[in-house]
Amino acid sequence: MPAREGERFVIVAGGTDEGFIDESFLCYPAKNKTGDYHGEMNSALFIRWLTSQLLPALAEPSVLVQDNAPYHSQLTEETRCPTTGTKKAEIVKWLECRSLPFPPHATRPELLLNCKENRPEPRYTVDEIIRSWGHEVIRLPPAHPELTAIKQVWGCMKRHVRSTLQRFTRADLQARLQEAKLIATKVWAGAVRRSRSFEEEYWSSDSIHEGMEPVTITINIDSDDEDELFVHCYRQAGGSTVRPVPRSGTVGTPPAPPPATRDAPSVPAAATVEVSPELVCASAPTPSRSTEAAL
- Residues 159-170 have pLDDT tens digits of 998 888 887 788
Residue 221 has pLDDT above 70, yes or no: no
Q: Taking 70 as the threshold, does the pLDDT of residue 263 lie above it? A: no
Residue 155 in any domain: the answer is: yes
Q: Does residue 3 carry a pLDDT above 80?
A: no
- Statement to judge: residues 160 and 287 lie in one domain: yes
Buried/exposed code over 233-242 (b: 16+ C-beta within 10 A; e: otherwise): ebeeeeeeee
Decide if 232 is inside a domain: yes
The pLDDT, as a whole number, for residue 174 is 84
Q: Based on the domain organization, do 33 and 143 belong to the same domain?
A: yes
Q: Which among 117, 135, 170 is the end of a domain?
A: 117
136 within domain boundaries: yes
Q: Does residue 63 sit in the same domain as residue 94? A: no
- Considering the chain, what percentage of its residues have pLDDT values greater than 70? 65
**% of the chain exceeding 90 in pLDDT:** 35
Number of domains in the chain: 3
Distance CA 134, CA 36 (A): 33
CATH of the domain at 128: 3.30.420
Q: Is the pLDDT score of 136 beyond 80?
A: yes
In this prediction, residue 237 carries a pLDDT of: 41
pLDDT band at 241 (very low <50, low <70, confident <90, very high): very low
Within a 10 A sphere around the Cβ of 23, how many other Cβ atoms?
14
In this model, does residue 264 exceed pLDDT 60?
no
Same structural domain, 112 and 239 = no
- Within this chain, do residues 139 and 236 fall inside the same structural domain, yes or no? no
Q: How confident is the model at residue 171 (pLDDT cuts 50, 70, 90)?
A: confident
In the prediction, which pLDDT does 165 show? 85
> Do 128 and 55 sit in the same domain of this protein?
yes
Q: Is residue 284 part of a domain?
A: yes
Q: Do both 277 and 167 map to the same domain? A: yes
Q: How many CA atoms lie within 13 A of 3 on its CB side?
A: 3
Question: CA-to-CA distance for 279 and 148, rounded, in angstroms?
Answer: 16
Examine the domain organization and report whether 132 and 239 are in the same domain: no
Same domain for 40 and 184? yes
For residues 122-148, average pLDDT: 93
pLDDT (tens digit, 9 = 90+) per residue, 82-126? 999 999 999 999 999 999 999 989 999 999 999 999 999 999 999
Compute, in degrees rounded to 10, the torsion defined by CA atoms 289, 19, 154, 1: -170
243 beta partners? 232
Question: Has residue 23 got a pLDDT over 60?
Answer: yes
Does residue 193 sit within a domain? yes
My answer on whether 219 and 284 are in the same domain is no
Domain containing 234 equals 215-251
Residue 209 belongs to a domain: no
User: Is residue 223 in a domain?
Assistant: yes
Report whether pLDDT(72) > 80.
yes
163 shares a domain with 243? no
Instruction: Write down the pLDDT at residue 2.
Output: 53
Min mean pLDDT across 31-40, 135-144, 210-219 is at: 210-219
- Per-residue pLDDT for 29 more than 60? yes
In a domain, 280, yes or no: yes
- Lowest-pLDDT range, 41-55, 128-142, 217-231? 217-231
The larger pLDDT score, comparing residue 233 to residue 53, is at 53
Predicted confidence band at 204 (pLDDT cuts at 50, 70, 90)? confident
220 and 101 assigned to the same domain: no
Over residues 224-233, the mean pLDDT reads 42
DSSP E strands, the chain: 9-16, 19-29, 62-66, 136-139, 215-218, 231-236, 239-244, 248-251, 271-276, 278-280, 291-294
User: Whole-number mean pLDDT of the chain?
Assistant: 76
Q: Which of 14-28, 29-43, 205-219 has the highest mean pLDDT?
A: 14-28
